[in-house]
Amino acid sequence: MPLLYIIVFKYVPMLGNIIAFKQYSITKGMFGSPWAGFTHFERFFNSHEFWRLLTNTLSISFYTLVASFPFPILLALGLNYVKNERFKKTVQMVTYAPYFISLVVVVGLLFQFLDPRTGIVNHILGWFGVDPINFMGEASMYQTLYVGSYVWQNVGFACIIYLAALAGIDPSLHEAAVMDGANKLQRVRHIDIPGIMPIAVILLILNTGQMMETGFEKILLMQNSLNLRTSEVIDTYVYKVGLVSQAMNFSYATAIGLFKAVIGFVLLIIVNQTAKKVGQESLW
C-alpha cells in the first residue's frame, strides 16, 4: 500500500509534468493534447515577471537559510552550560511551543501585533511620537518579517538536534580541557563546535535542498497587494496562474513549477559537492 501511494501521489505527478511541454486542454486530456516543446518555458523566461520572481524566491530562501542556521546552534550551546535544571527545562518548553502553532495563527499574530490601529507594536511606537506604520503593507519589510517570524517559530525545535549532539560529546574531552586550564568559552570553541560540526553541515545541506520548497504556504498567507513586489515567489505565482486565475493555464504553471524544481535539484547537487570538497560529510 505505501508503495502504491508513493507511485500514485509522487511518481504520477512527476510524469504529469509532461504537460509542461504540451498545450494542455481539458477536453483532449493529458496524452491527447498537442506537444508544445519549450514554448511555455520561453514565455516564462521572456515575461517581465521572470527576474522579479527569481530574485524574490532566491532572496527569501537564502535569507531564511542564513538567518535560521546559527540561532539554534547558539541556543543549544547556551543551554548546554545551564546548570539549573528547572531554568533549562523552562527555556526548552517555551522555545518548542511556537513550533506547534499553525502557520495561520503565526501570521494572524503578526497581523494582530503589527496592525496600524490596534496592534501593540504601533501603540508602543506611538509613545515615542512615531506615526503608526503599516508593517504588512511595506514591501521593504516583508522579507524581514517573514524570516523573523520563521526564526521565532522554529529556533527551539531546531535546537533539539544540536542539544542531542552536544550530549553525545565525550565528557572526558571536557575534563581534559578543564585540567589544561581552558575556560568555558575556549571549551565551546575547541570542543563543542567541532563536535556538532558534522550534524550542522548535514542539516545545512538538507536545508539547502529544501530551500526552494519551504515557506510557500506562509508566504501566501502574508501576501497582500501592497507587498506583492517583494513577496511574489515562483510557487505563489504557479498557484495563481494554475489554480486561481480566471484564465487558468495549466501547462504554463506546470512549466514554471518544473523550472523551480530543477533549480532546487541543481542547488542540492552543488552544495553536496562543495561539502565533499571541503572534506565534510555529504548526503551521498
Partner 1 sequence: MQQHSTIRESGSDRAFTIVNYVILSIVLLIILYPLIYVVSASFSSSYAVLSGKVWLWPVEPSLDGYKAVFKNKNILTGFQNTLFYTIAGTLINVIMTILAAYPLSRRDFHGRNVFMLIFVFTMMFSGGLIPTYFVVKGLHMIDTVWAMLIPTALSVWNVIIMRTYFQTTIPHELLEASQMDGCNDFRFLRSIVLPLSGPILAVIALFYAVGHWNQYFNAMIYLKDPGLYPLQLILRDILVQNEVKIDMLGDVKTAAARQGLRELLKYSLIVVSSVPLLIVYPFVQKFFVKGVMIGSIKG
Q: Supply the minimum distance, in Å, between the C-beta of residue 278 and partner 1.
A: 18
C-alpha cell, 118: 490596534
253 part of the interface to partner 1, by CB under 8 A: yes
185 binds partner 1 (CB under 8 A): yes
Question: Which range, of 33-41, 43-51, 53-61, 96-104, touches partner 1 by CB under 8 A?
Answer: 96-104
Q: Can residue 94 be called a binding residue for partner 1 (CB under 8 A)?
A: yes
Q: Does 78 bind partner 1 (CB under 8 A)?
A: yes
Dihedral sign computed on CA atoms, order 28, 31, 35, 37: positive
Q: Residue 8 Cβ, how far from partner 1 at the closest point, in Å?
A: 7
Stretch that binds partner 1, among 40-48, 56-64, 73-81, 138-146 (CB under 8 A): 73-81
Could you say whether residue 14 binds partner 1 (CB under 8 A)? yes
Using the rule CB under 8 A, is 96 a contact of partner 1? yes
d(CA 220, CA 237): 10
| 242-281 core/surface letters (b: 16 or more CB in 10 A; e: else) | beeeeeebbbbbbbbbbbbeebbeebbeebbeebeeeeee
Using CB under 8 A as the binding criterion, the count of chain residues that bind partner 1 stands at 78
Contact between 123 and partner 1 (CB under 8 A)? yes
Query: What is the DSSP code string of 84-131?
Result: -HHHHHHHHHHHHGGGGS-HHHHHHHHHHHH-TTT-HHHHHHHHTTPP
Stretch that binds partner 1, among 42-50, 56-64, 137-145, 181-189 (CB under 8 A): 181-189
Question: For partner 1, which is the closer residue by CB, 195 or 257?
Answer: 257
- Binding to partner 1 (CB under 8 A) within 141-160 occurs at 152, 155-156, 160
For 204, the 3-state DSSP assignment is helix
| All cell numbers assigned to 116 | 496600524
Cα–Cα distance, 101 to 197 (Å, whole number):
30
How many Å separate Cα 34 from the centre of its chain?
Answer: 37
Q: Which of 109, 193, 204, 228 binds partner 1 (CB under 8 A)?
A: 109
Q: Within positions 38 to 67, which residues make up the interface with partner 1, using CB under 8 A?
A: none
Contact flag: residue 217 with partner 1 (CB under 8 A): yes
Q: Does 177 bind partner 1 (CB under 8 A)?
A: no
Phi and psi at 22, nearest 5°, equal -120, 170
Q: Do residues 243 and 237 touch, judged by C-beta distance below 8 A?
A: no
Query: Can residue 266 be called a binding residue for partner 1 (CB under 8 A)?
Result: no
Choose, by CB under 8 A, the member of 54, 199, 228, 263 that binds partner 1: 199
Q: Read off the C-alpha cell for 126.
A: 506611538
Residue whose CB is less far from partner 1, 78 or 194: 78
Closest CA to 147 of 83, 72, 63: 63
- 134 CB-near residues (< 8 Å, 6+ apart): 116, 226
Q: Which of 147, 205, 238, 271 binds partner 1 (CB under 8 A)?
A: 238
